[in-house]
Amino acid sequence: MTILDKIIAQKKIEVERLLASNVIFPEREISRPSLYKTLRKAKKLQVISEMKRASPSKGLIAEGANPVKQAIAYYEAGAACISVLTDNEFFKGSFEDLAAVADVVPIALLCKDFIIHPIQIDQAKSAGASVILLIVAALDDQTLGSLYTYANELGLDVLVEVHSVEELQRALAIDAKIIGVNNRDLRTFEVDLAQTELIAEQFPFDEERVFISESGIWNPEDAERAAKAGASAVLVGESLMRSDSVKDALRALQVEKQGIRS
């Protein structure tokens, strides 16, 4: 059983609990800039910065991190979006973290979780997210399509995550507008920025779609590499969580977009 299988098994239990609790998530008015529009119009590579206490591949990263302080530091440094890991079992995050961040920053806010059921989308929206993540590797085509449609109907942006060309084709089949390549193989934990370059070769850079590179971004050279491949943004967790100066580290990643793909 891979770690992704284990996480999905845990999510099924959480979904059952949520459904059984008959909870009705309160409506929360979202007035945040659209991540999609922000990325389309940006002249420089944008940073989606992540609140990440721990991970299956690295264990503890920043156990005592305060999500509010971290989010304010990201916002003040010019992040385009803040990603909050809400999974508790494997990442030591929570929906309380997401709601706390929602209360203090006005930019796009990504609920970073392993979504397999619409009730998790309701929960994400209720906690203040304006963007949700759908991981192609974790979903069959029908569920992927219906969750994507449901999130759009609620007015949420959707980051559709792929790790292979085959998964890219599945993301394009649902007409996903924001597609992220995770440089980390969620089954083996291997991280390789070449994955972004490989998938960029097959990516339809057009007026409609934005391309994001996720994971394993540590320095401006990595950011340059993502930008050269055509990325509009990088999603960065561990390196920013470990940084002594979030401001300097984040700003150094905001390199010029490059080439005909930008």
Ligand X SMILES: O=C(O)c1ccccc1NCC(=O)[C@H](O)[C@H](O)COP(=O)(O)O
CA 2/CA 8 separation, integer angstroms: 10
Per the residue annotation, which of 14, 83, 130, 161 is the catalytic one? 161
Which member of 136, 237, 249, 257 binds ligand X (CB under 6 A)?
237
Tell me whether residue 15 or residue 25 sits nearer to ligand X (CB atom): 15
Interface stretch with ligand X, choices 15-23, 92-100, 122-130, 234-242 (CB under 6 A) = 234-242
Q: Is 243 exposed, middle or buried (0-12, 13-18, 19+ CB in 10 A)?
A: middle
Query: Pairing mode, if any, of strands 59-60 and 54-55?
Result: antiparallel
Q: How many residues does the chain have?
A: 262
Cα-based angle 62, 96, 254 (whole degrees, multiple of 5): 55
Interface stretch with ligand X, choices 74-82, 136-144, 212-220, 222-230 (CB under 6 A) = 212-220
Which member of 14, 122, 222, 238 binds ligand X (CB under 6 A)?
238
Which member of 14, 122, 214, 222 binds ligand X (CB under 6 A)?
214
Residues 166-205, mask of contacts with ligand X (x by CB under 6 A): ----------------x-x-x--x----------------
Tell me whether residue 216 or residue 230 sits nearer to ligand X (CB atom): 216
Q: How many residues interact with ligand X (rule CB under 6 A)? A: 20
Tell me whether residue 55 or residue 123 sits nearer to ligand X (CB atom): 55
Tokens found for residue 183: 């440089």
CA 153/CA 160 separation, integer angstroms: 16
Strand segments (E) across 119-216: 131-135, 157-162, 178-182, 210-214
Q: Which residues pair with 135 in a beta bridge?
A: 161
Tell me whether residue 25 or residue 94 sits nearer to ligand X (CB atom): 94
Q: Which residue has the tokens 């192609």?
A: 136
- Determine whether 224 is an active site residue: no
Nearest to 49 by CA among 190, 247, 257: 247
Tell me whether residue 28 or residue 58 sits nearer to ligand X (CB atom): 58
Crossing angle of helices 67-77/95-102, nearest 10°?
A: 50
Closest residue to ligand X using C-beta atoms: 237
Which member of 38, 46, 49, 55 binds ligand X (CB under 6 A)?
55
56 contributes a contact to ligand X by CB under 6 A: yes
Interface stretch with ligand X, choices 24-32, 39-47, 70-78, 229-237 (CB under 6 A) = 229-237
Consecutive H or E run containing 108: strand 108-112
Active centre residues (catalytic): 50, 52, 112, 161, 182, 214-215
